[in-house]
Amino acid sequence: MNSITHGFGVFLSLVGGFTLAHDAQGYPRRHQWGIGIYVFSLVALFMSSTLCHSFTFMKKTGMIFQIFDHAAIYLLIAGTYTPLCFVNLSSSSWTGTILASILWSLALIGMTGSFFQAELKFELVLYVTMGWLAVFTGYEIVESLPPEALMLLVLGGLAYTGGIYFFIIGIKKPSHHVIWHIFVIIGATFHFFAIREAIFHKGPLHWN
Length of the chain: 208
**pTM confidence score:** 0.93
Calculate mean pLDDT across residues 112-134: 93
Q: In the chain, what percentage of residues exceed pLDDT 70?
A: 94
Is 112 a residue whose pLDDT tops 90? yes
Write down the pLDDT at residue 92.
64
Is 207 a residue whose pLDDT tops 60? no
Q: Is the CB of residue 159 less than 8 Å from the CB of residue 193?
A: no
CA 31/CA 40 separation, integer angstroms: 14
Is 204 a residue whose pLDDT tops 80? no
Q: Is the CB of residue 83 less than 8 Å from the CB of residue 31?
A: yes
CA 158 to chain centre: 13
Q: Is the CB of residue 126 less than 8 Å from the CB of residue 105?
A: no
Closest CA to 139 of 205, 201, 89: 89
Could you tell me which residues are annotated as the binding site for Zn(2+)?
Answer: 53, 177, 181
Write down the pLDDT at residue 203.
60
Calculate mean pLDDT across residues 125-134: 96
Is 202 a residue whose pLDDT tops 80? no
**pLDDT tens across 165-177, in order?**
999 998 888 888 8
Answer with the residue of higher pLDDT: 170 or 186. 186
- What confidence category does residue 27 fall into, taking pLDDT thresholds of 50, 70 and 90? very high
Write down the pLDDT at residue 2.
63
Instruction: Identify the DSSP state of 204.
Output: T
Calculate mean pLDDT across residues 35-45: 98
Calculate mean pLDDT across residues 162-190: 93
CA 57/CA 169 separation, integer angstroms: 21
**pLDDT tens across 68-98, in order?**
999 999 999 999 999 999 999 986 678 999 9
Class of residue 181 by CB neighbours under 10 A (exposed 0-12, middle 13-18, buried 19+)? buried
CA 118/CA 161 separation, integer angstroms: 20
Half-sphere exposure of 16 (CA within 13 A, CB side): 26
- What confidence category does residue 180 fall into, taking pLDDT thresholds of 50, 70 and 90? very high
